[in-house]
Structure 1
Amino acid sequence: MASQTTQDAQHESFRQYLPDLNTPRFQAIAKNDAYGHAKELLEHHRPPWLYGLYLHWRKLFEEPFKGVTNDGVVRPNLFELRDEGVPIDAITSAANAIIAQLSAEQTVRTLLHIDSPEWRSWSNPEFLVSDKGIRLDEITPSLRDSVLSLLETTLSPEGYAKARAAMRINHFLGELVNAPRVMNEHSYNFVLFGTPAVDRPWGFSFYGHHLCLSVFLHKAQIVVSPWFTGAEPNAIDSGPHAGTRILHEEERLGLQLMQSLSAEDKKRATAYEEMKDPNMPRGRWNHDDQRHLCGAYRDNRVVPYEGVLVGTLPPAQQDLVRAILAQYLLYLPARSRELRVRDCAARFGETYFSWIGGHGDADPFYYRVQSPVMLVEFDHHSGVFLSNTRPAKFHIHTLLRTPNAGDYGVALRNQIEPAVQQEYVWEE
């Protein structure tokens, strides 16, 4: 495995890829706020490739919700209603403290019906393509603190710390590229779905550049899915938050697992040897998501199983898979996380680990762990704001999906509300 010194050198290397801020792209973003920046995309269609992706997103959004599957068929009876010890009284109180401060206009934008399709309209680029709710960099400090308090009360302490670190790294990137009004610590939107209550289902969405959290709550149970967390770069090397780093554990554990496999299992796990492999079918790589499959608006994606079957691996390697899943479940409170890891381990006989790229200490890579009850992805990306044209270890995207209608708590809601059809339908 790479030493800490080697890892530090890899992460510090982003400095050699700082962009030329005198180019038209960066001159334009420096003059814009979030709304002017979004206008460049939505009205002027710049950049064209992202506008094309946005149009595709809108088509996907029009589809009724089904859920991510491996074969197009949603499997029933995979998730159970249970007491996970979630502090729902405190969480509900924190949500109501937000509501009490909303103006009439903010209330209309922020309090949406639990069946609103807008729960699905999150996205992770810095472009504000779905403007709803309240935006943290535009509201009073008191209201902003209340939103952050809800996050802190809902998530685990380590999960909240990770979310705040992602927000601070976003601010750091905004400073690096002179775009502080588009990317800053508080350039995130917050929306409530349903009426906060201790005995009825409700939830919220918190989304912006490189951090998107979909949270469903019912009594003492929680679902945080889908979520997306990324960073470019993934470490702050100067300023008041110097030393902040995220996503390095997901990176370390994935590489440790791949390097520990036998030669035969490495071959089974490897879907493609190159990050942009000539053997990839059309669409397997795209400009925005690159290798990951289940990002924004991909609620109904069919992702066939591939790779090595986790249930055939030795106990030590299965323990590494557990450690990876626990890291991806970090946003959940401890008891919820423990139960979800147990759920996943019970299905190691139908859980697959797949890999793209090299597996040397310095190689960028992609991996996925996929089962009927959980799908996680890790991907090293090329530059979006930095100028590296090839994937680098300082730009990382990670995400989690709960397949078979588990996202947004839909599979649980179908049990809470038996009058609702098995396949819960959201329509625009």
Structure 2
Amino acid sequence: MTSKSASPSGEFRQYLPDLSTPRFTTMCRQNAREYAHDFLTKHNPPWLYGLYLHWRKLFKEPFRGVTSDGKIKPGLFQLQDEGLPIEKIVAAAQAVLSKASPAQRDSLLYHIDSPEWRSWSNPEFLLSDKGLRLDDLEDSSLRDAILAVLAATLSPEGYEKALAAMRINHFLGELVKSPAVMNEFSYNFVVFGTPSTERPWGWSFYGHHLCLNVFLVQRQIVISPWFTGAEPNEIDDGPYAGTRILHVEERLGLQLMQSLPPQSQQQAQIYKQMRDPAMQEGRWNRDDQRHLCGAYRDNRVVPYEGVIVSGMDASQQNLVWQIVEQYLLYLPESSRRIKLEQVRSFADETYFSWIGGFETDKEPFYYRIQSPVIIIEFDHHSGVFLTNEEPAKFHIHTLLRTPNGGDYGYALRPLIPSIE
């Protein structure tokens, strides 16, 4: 959810970077492709280039899906009528195709089973340049048509959240004087399959701090995986001043953790420090930090940790479902209700885990809610463009996965009857 704050905190401003350093004096002269080419040829920063190589290795693996133990649990997902306004979504997508040139359509369209579904990523580097990039489009009506697909597909509040993430990205680009790399339209849009009211198809929209993967089949929708982040998570100047995102997920998570009895808090808190010496190798990295299910982690094994939700009291369970509903915000309301009921039905297999402090509202933290049908993660991060070396509450990453093969609608695909 987004909101307008009358008094933005502006806390992040004490961590504004020195723009006279080579990193920023170079970046401010580059566009997105020059910036990415520089990264891929000069391998700088080395740690991120190493992570990129690891991502490409993971990409070569056949898709299986995130699991808790390496084994896909069958029979969790079914074809169903969710009341999705598929005709409206198809019409919006067809409007994009009608406005696009033949060359643009060739760039835009991929096969429904293309592995390129999985080549999204959330850093500002354009590491997978496919589809149409909005800030490349000279025809603003084509860009508006693409945004109309998002508006037709997502809930109104989900669409506003996406727009807010894009505007905050633009704000960050202005803060570091690199608007050609990070701006409101520095996102790629891709269509998989042929827009249809009967046959499966979908789209991907991805860039810095906003990545949405949408699978559609008749009146059913899967929005998974998705990633939403912000650095900072508010705008304190300009026409969109007061815009904030991800603060509701933050507040509800802390409220839940603080409401648990001490024994449950101890069980939920799997690590006391955000980068804890007790963490095994690989449990933390500089890009994902505490996240386990980010870009290219389509087949990761994520064991259950923490405290089981069915053991919580009614008010605590209600907080869990409020958090889950925030993470389902991109879904249209009818689909959201159905998905939320499915998640609630697995309360006795749903776990809540926590990293970091929780005694005050100043401490950064991570939390995860995980069941056979959903994984959500929330993480406060250290600075990437801002200079805070420790995690801070104004840099937030969130994501959602559908485990057991549910991402990208893969679990539904074998269930779809053929049409002669």
TM-score w.r.t. length of structure 1: 0.95
Determine the structure 1 residue equivalent to 2:87: 89
- Per the TM alignment, residue 373 of structure 1 is displaced from its structure 2 partner at its CA by 0.1
2:136 corresponds to 1:141: no
Determine the structure 2 residue equivalent to 1:190: 189
2:120 partner letter: W
Determine the structure 2 residue equivalent to 1:425: none
Which SS does the other structure have where 1:212 is aligned?
strand
Which SS does the other structure have where 1:340 is aligned?
helix
Alignment of 1:321-400 (within 5 A): 321-359=320-358, 360-400=360-400
Give deviations 1:399-428, integer Å, cap 9, x for gaps. Answer: 000000000001011211589xxxxxxxxx
Give deviations 1:335-356, integer Å, cap 9, x for gaps. Answer: 1111111000100100000000
Alignment of 1:13-412 (within 5 A): 13-139=11-137, 140-359=139-358, 360-412=360-412
Q: How many residues in Structure 1 have an aligned counterpart in Structure 2?
A: 414
Which SS does the other structure have where 1:94 is aligned?
helix
Taking the aligned partners of 1:418 and 1:382, their CA distance within structure 2 comes to 49
1:283 partner letter: G
Taking the aligned partners of 2:52 and 2:101, their CA distance within structure 1 comes to 31
2:300 partner letter: R
Question: Can you give the 5+ residue segments of structure 2 that lack an aligned partner in the other structure?
Answer: none
Taking the aligned partners of 2:53 and 2:268, their CA distance within structure 1 comes to 34
Determine the structure 2 residue equivalent to 1:424: none
Taking the aligned partners of 1:316 and 1:42, their CA distance within structure 2 comes to 50
Taking the aligned partners of 1:109 and 1:256, their CA distance within structure 2 comes to 46
Contact kept in structure 1, 2:28 and 2:177, CA below 8 Å: yes
Taking the aligned partners of 2:395 and 2:414, their CA distance within structure 1 comes to 38
Contact kept in structure 2, 1:41 and 1:50, CA below 8 Å: no
2:125 partner letter: F
- Per the TM alignment, residue 8 of structure 1 is displaced from its structure 2 partner at its CA by 6.4
Taking the aligned partners of 2:136 and 2:227, their CA distance within structure 1 comes to 23
Determine the structure 2 residue equivalent to 1:422: none
- Per the TM alignment, residue 47 of structure 1 is displaced from its structure 2 partner at its CA by 1.0
Taking the aligned partners of 1:363 and 1:345, their CA distance within structure 2 comes to 29
Contact kept in structure 2, 1:198 and 1:218, CA below 8 Å: yes
Contact kept in structure 2, 1:269 and 1:307, CA below 8 Å: yes
408-417 or 223-232, which deviates more? 408-417
Taking the aligned partners of 1:286 and 1:131, their CA distance within structure 2 comes to 24
- Per the TM alignment, residue 80 of structure 1 is displaced from its structure 2 partner at its CA by 1.3
Give deviations 1:235-277, integer Å, cap 9, x for gaps. Answer: 0000000010000000000000000000000001001000000
2:202 partner letter: G
Taking the aligned partners of 1:401 and 1:236, their CA distance within structure 2 comes to 28
The percentage of aligned residue pairs carrying the same residue is: 65
Give deviations 1:114-158, integer Å, cap 9, x for gaps. Answer: 011001000000000000000001111000000000000100000
Taking the aligned partners of 1:127 and 1:380, their CA distance within structure 2 comes to 21
Contact kept in structure 2, 1:124 and 1:296, CA below 8 Å: yes
Which SS does the other structure have where 2:152 is aligned?
helix
Taking the aligned partners of 2:72 and 2:318, their CA distance within structure 1 comes to 28
Contact kept in structure 1, 2:7 and 2:242, CA below 8 Å: no
- Per the TM alignment, residue 286 of structure 1 is displaced from its structure 2 partner at its CA by 0.3
Question: Can you give the 5+ residue segments of structure 1 that lack an aligned partner in the other structure?
Answer: 420-428
1:347 partner letter: F
Which SS does the other structure have where 2:28 is aligned?
helix
Give deviations 1:82-117, integer Å, cap 9, x for gaps. Answer: 111110000000000001111122111110000110
Which SS does the other structure have where 1:75 is aligned?
coil
2:411 partner letter: A
Taking the aligned partners of 1:154 and 1:266, their CA distance within structure 2 comes to 39
Contact kept in structure 1, 2:78 and 2:412, CA below 8 Å: yes
Which SS does the other structure have where 1:404 is aligned?
coil
98-107 or 188-197, which deviates more? 98-107
Moved over 3 A (4+): none
Taking the aligned partners of 1:209 and 1:265, their CA distance within structure 2 comes to 36
Determine the structure 2 residue equivalent to 1:426: none
- Per the TM alignment, residue 220 of structure 1 is displaced from its structure 2 partner at its CA by 0.6
